[in-house]
Amino acid sequence: MNSYLRVSDEVEEAIRLKKPVVALESTIISHGMPYPQNVETALTVERIIREQGVVPATVGIISGTLIAGLSQSEIEHMGKNASQVRKVSRRDLPVVVSRKQDGATTVATTMIIAKMAGIRFFATGGIGGVHRGASQSFDISADLMELAETEVAVISSGIKSILDIKATLEVLETQGVTVLSYGCDRLPAFYLRDSGLAVDARVDTPEELAAMAYAKWGMGMKGGLLIGNPVPPEYEEQKGRIDAAISLALEEMEADHISGKEATPFLLKRIKDLTNGESLNTNIQLVYSNAKLAAQVAKAYSRYL
């Protein structure tokens, strides 16, 4: 195992015994919401996964050590000290590890660490992608390249609504990433259940999703799969309201010259404020739903091992 990686005893035993495990990111703890709600949400997500008979592995970096399976005290540490925790994507790993810093992992970095540990499935809220106006800024998330390279299936509610979803799908197609939707014909759009954009296939059971993952990796193909799971209907945002909030937040971000890794946290926080907290509740509920589905898919996949 990689010398920079520490796997919790529980996760290590599950992997050794070929039991299902689901990875979870830590940016939601340090950069997604305020304390103590961030810690409460992270622990609830772990509980949801356990209720399915699956082991959760929250991923993060503590004092330069990559960790698959943060303890409750480590999750608390990351939530309480969010301002001192660096948001870490692939390019940041050598800096954070060598300087022995704390880091919250993005989708891309969680995938990297999950693969190191031997974890095949990962639940998150929404993935990064092509930012609006990327034809001038060239701002494209590393999440997309990681999906093309790393053998981890990502269960999310699609691509974050603040992004250019159509352009993101085009990049994923170019990179050969299989994009699936669960129980619906089109890709969900994070706060909304329907982006209006087609995917490679609709899938209606966790068993079929597991079979597709097993087929891809069984053929020796590199890269992951993106599984879009729509937010539960009772928590879906109103399209006109959320679109207006996103547009205003984007205008303010441009006026304040905010870009790079600071863009997404700024936008999500501003949209939360503009919707009086409703968008944050939607975000939390879709993460819960994605965690449950990821656990079901991981359990189905474990039957192949």
Give catalytic residues, as residue numbers: 25, 160
CA–CA gap between residue 57 and residue 22 (Å, rounded): 6
Burial of 151 (0-12, 13-18, 19+ CB in 10 A): middle
CA–CA gap between residue 56 and residue 287 (Å, rounded): 14
Under a CB-based contact definition with an 8 Å cutoff, are residues 66 and 2 in contact? Answer: yes
Q: Which residue has tokens 């993060």?
A: 60
Under a CB-based contact definition with an 8 Å cutoff, are residues 2 and 54 in contact? Answer: no
Under a CB-based contact definition with an 8 Å cutoff, are residues 170 and 132 in contact? Answer: no
Cis peptide before 36 (omega within 30 of 0): yes
CA–CA gap between residue 113 and residue 126 (Å, rounded): 18
Angle formed by the axes of helices 142-149 and 165-174, nearest 10°: 30
Q: CA nearest 32: which of 283, 286, 220, 244? A: 283
CA–CA gap between residue 56 and residue 111 (Å, rounded): 14
